[in-house]
């Protein structure tokens, strides 16, 4: 009975160890082709103005749906590039090319349906809970303000919310799932070996007692 209880406790502990990874195992757009800020600039032949630019986990995410060669998309990237020295530490970009990638185009339309902001063209820009349909220089101050607002409070992410709405918040990465299986099997084997050794020890003690009585 004690051994069965120990097995249950160890298996339960293994499951609890997996939960932080289950929740963050994947993003809703896994499998889609994306570019970061530096890559998106390079794709449009734009030289990065801020040579010290680097991505970090706490930066506000700018989701950019763009078309390769799109003039307005290029203008938006040029704007981000122009503010990268002052604001670069506050934002990073996840860019989806939609003109030549049908999966990315479908994803943009799914996001547009979810947000209620129609995607009538590109760029289609999402920063936190705010959507910018297209780009003109009149948006510049609003975009900078939204970057800072999202940097200060990143509790809303459109893809995390979309994932929740689909009931996928606890999706498990296959590698993590297999790791869990191996941990569970390994734990069970260890407990069974310990049980077997304990039985042998108890048997040896009992035999010794019996032998002593016989004398």
pLDDT average per 10 residues of sequence, the chain (215 residues): 56 52 69 98 98 97 98 98 98 98 98 98 98 98 98 98 81 53 61 65 63 55
Say how many C-beta atoms besides its own lie within 10 A of residue 64's C-beta. Answer: 26
CA 189 to chain centre: 33
Which pLDDT belongs to residue 24? 46
Q: Which pLDDT value is given to residue 1?
A: 56
The secondary structure of 134-172 as a DSSP string is S--GGGHHHHHHHHHHHHH-----HHHHHHHHTT-TT--
Q: Prior bond to 123 cis, omega within 30? A: yes
- CATH 3.40.30.10 applies to domain 27-165: yes
The structural domains of the chain, with segments of one domain joined by +, span: 2-21+172-214, 27-165
Q: What angle do CA 145, 148, 154 make, to 5 degrees?
A: 125
The pLDDT, as a whole number, for residue 13 is 54
Decide if 43 contacts 78 (C-beta within 8 A): no
pLDDT at residue 167 in the model:
87
**Predicted local confidence at residue 4, as pLDDT:** 58
pTM value is 0.70
Q: How far apart are CA 89 and CA 21, in angstroms?
A: 27
Q: What pLDDT shows up at residue 26?
A: 84
């Amino acid at each position: 009975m004690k051994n069965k209880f120990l097995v249950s406790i160890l298996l339960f502990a293994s499951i609890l160890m997996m939960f932080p990874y289950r929740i963050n195992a994947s993003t809703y757009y896994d499998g889609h082709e994306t570019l970061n800020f530096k890559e998106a600039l390079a794709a449009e032949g734009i030289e990065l103005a801020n040579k010290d630019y680097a991505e970090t986990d706490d930066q506000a995410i700018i989701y950019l749906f763009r078309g390769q060669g799109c003039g307005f998309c290029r203008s938006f990237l040029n704007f981000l590039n122009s503010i990268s020295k002052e604001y670069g530490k506050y934002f990073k970009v996840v860019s989806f090319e939609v003109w030549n990638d049908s999966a990315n185009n479908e994803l943009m339309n799914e996001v547009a349906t979810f947000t209620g902001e129609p995607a009538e063209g590109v760029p289609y820009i999402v920063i936190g809970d705010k959507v910018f349909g297209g780009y003109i220089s009149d948006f510049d101050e609003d975009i900078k303000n939204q970057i800072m607002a999202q940097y200060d409070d990143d509790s809303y992410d459109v893809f995390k919310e979309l994932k929740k709405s689909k009931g996928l918040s606890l999706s498990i990465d296959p590698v993590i799932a297999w790791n869990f299986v191996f941990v569970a099997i390994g734990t069970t084997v260890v407990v069974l070996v310990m049980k077997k050794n304990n039985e042998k020890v108890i048997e040896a003690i009992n035999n010794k007692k019996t032998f002593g009585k016989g004398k």
